[in-house]
Amino acid sequence: MASPSSTSSFLPFFLFLLISTSLCYGYDDRTVPEGDVDLLEFPLNLEYLEAEFFLHGATGFGLDWFAPDLTMGGPPPHGARLAFLDPFTRDIVMQFALQEVGHLRAIQSTVRGFPRPFLNLSAEAFSTIMNNALGRVLFPPFDPYANSINYLLASYVIPYVGLTGYVGANPKLRGAYSKRLVAGLLGVESGQDAVIRMLLYERGALPVVPYKVTVAEFTDRISNLRDRLGHGLGTKDEGLLVPRREGAEGRIPGNVLAGDKDSLAYDRTPEEILRIVYGTSSEANPGGFYPRGANGRIARSHLARKY
Ligand SMILES: *[C@@H]1O[C@H](CO)[C@@H](O)[C@H](O)[C@H]1NC(C)=O
């Protein structure tokens, strides 16, 4: 029979156990509610794209060399190349590249995931976007792999789309572990976007050679294009220089980070993202970086036909 003293010491211990298990739930429990699965898998599409673009840009080799298992057997990308980068930019791009490998692993070890989609990362895929952004055919065609500025402008196109997707996904998630994963991805993705924007902001007034268009104007046109293609509600994208009333607190034209009237990050739905990365303004019609469409249940459910 327990003595009164051992009973009284058991009660606090029992309470401690109860509280510590309920605190641990959420951090350690990796169960993902069924409704979260598609939302967590969808961003793999963008993470594959970023991994391949950054790995190739920095080294000339992609996931098939660095982490073949993470491709889950999907086809190799088309047209990705080693970029002609200065050593400082190459170092940063290599860091981003390896971060994307981690992101792919983190998502795939949380949900089943899907194979790498077929990606078109050719210079032509990027020059088509830049022509659409500027509303005229650039000559010579824009080559993302030609130098550091061009590569950074091409990079401006991608992580930002991922970050708006993570902001959009977050309120729809139910599981604590799902939210933790998305917050972790969002933090680093927006950090990448900030670094790219900062490097471009420093060179904002320089012309993108040989075009008579400045770096800041390029970013403005790319942001406008994304907003047009996504046709979400209102502005969700902003270049590096904005009319003063659209800057932070409506008081400043410099716009090194994009944000709404309260300087909160914009959100986008998976459908808005597909319209942008397909370059077709339609989640039913693939193209752009994803000639055969993105993968996963959300993207496949919108396709007008089988690819
Ligand atoms: C890649 O994109 C370019 C530009 O849109 C296009 O001309 C080319 O056919 C595409 N390549 C593949 C393999 O889809």
String of DSSP letters for 182-241: HHHHHHHHHHHHHHHHHHHHHTTTSB-TTSS-BHHHHHHHHHHHHHHHH--SS-----SB
Predicted local confidence at residue 27, as pLDDT: 55
Expressed in angstroms and rounded, the spacing between residue 165 Cα and the centre of ligand 1 is: 25
pLDDT(14) > 80 = no
Closest C-alpha to 169, from 27, 31, 51, 35: 35
The 10s digit of each residue's pLDDT in 144-176 is: 999 999 999 999 998 899 999 999 999 999 999
Residue 125: C-alpha distances to residues 107, 272, 307 (Å) = 27, 19, 19
Ligand 1 atom, smallest distance to 288 CA: 5
Predicted local confidence at residue 234, as pLDDT: 83
Predicted local confidence at residue 1, as pLDDT: 44
Verify that 25 and 165 share a domain, yes or no.
no
Predicted local confidence at residue 10, as pLDDT: 56
Give CA–CA dist 96/51, Å, rounded: 8
Expressed in angstroms and rounded, the spacing between residue 149 Cα and the centre of ligand 1 is: 23
> What's the burial of 277, exposed, middle or buried (CB within 10 Å: 0-12/13-18/19+)?
buried
What's the chain's average pLDDT?
92
Q: How many domains are contained in the chain?
A: 2
17: pLDDT confidence band, cut at 50, 70 and 90?
low
Expressed in angstroms and rounded, the spacing between residue 144 Cα and the centre of ligand 1 is: 15
Verify that 42 and 106 share a domain, yes or no.
yes
Verify that 127 and 170 share a domain, yes or no.
yes
Closest C-alpha to 49, from 224, 306, 281, 294: 294
Ligand 1 atom, smallest distance to 291 CA: 14
Verify that 13 and 50 share a domain, yes or no.
no
Predicted local confidence at residue 100, as pLDDT: 98
Probe residue for ligand 1, chosen from 52, 122, 290, 292 as the CB with the greatest number of ligand atoms within 8 Å: 122
Query: What percent of the chain is predicted at pLDDT more than 90?
Result: 86
Closest C-alpha to 165, from 4, 296, 20, 2: 296
Predicted local confidence at residue 233, as pLDDT: 79
Query: 12 is in which domain, residue-wise?
Result: 1-30
Verify that 20 and 151 share a domain, yes or no.
no
Closest C-alpha to 47, from 89, 110, 90, 91: 110
Verify that 15 and 160 share a domain, yes or no.
no
Verify that 19 and 103 share a domain, yes or no.
no
Predicted local confidence at residue 2, as pLDDT: 47
Q: What is the mean predicted confidence (pLDDT) over 203-207?
A: 97
Verify that 107 and 131 share a domain, yes or no.
yes
Verify that 19 and 65 share a domain, yes or no.
no
Closest C-alpha to 64, from 49, 54, 75, 53: 75
Expressed in angstroms and rounded, the spacing between residue 279 Cα and the centre of ligand 1 is: 12
3-class DSSP state for residue 78? Answer: strand
Q: Is residue 176 part of a domain?
A: yes
Verify that 195 and 52 share a domain, yes or no.
yes
Whats the size of the chain, residue-wise? Answer: 307
Verify that 298 and 199 share a domain, yes or no.
yes
Q: Is residue 194 part of a domain?
A: yes
Verify that 63 and 12 share a domain, yes or no.
no
Give CA–CA dist 59/90, Å, rounded: 9
> Where would I find the beta strands (DSSP E) of 43-89?
none
The residue contributing the CA closest to ligand 1 atom 7 is: 124
Q: What is the mean predicted confidence (pLDDT) over 107-136?
A: 97
Give CA–CA dist 95/42, Å, rounded: 23
The 10s digit of each residue's pLDDT in 289-305 is: 999 999 999 999 999 88
Expressed in angstroms and rounded, the spacing between residue 289 Cα and the centre of ligand 1 is: 8
* Ligand 1 first shell, C-beta below 6 A: 78, 120, 122, 124-125, 128, 291
Q: Is residue 307 part of a domain?
A: no
pLDDT(75) > 50 = yes
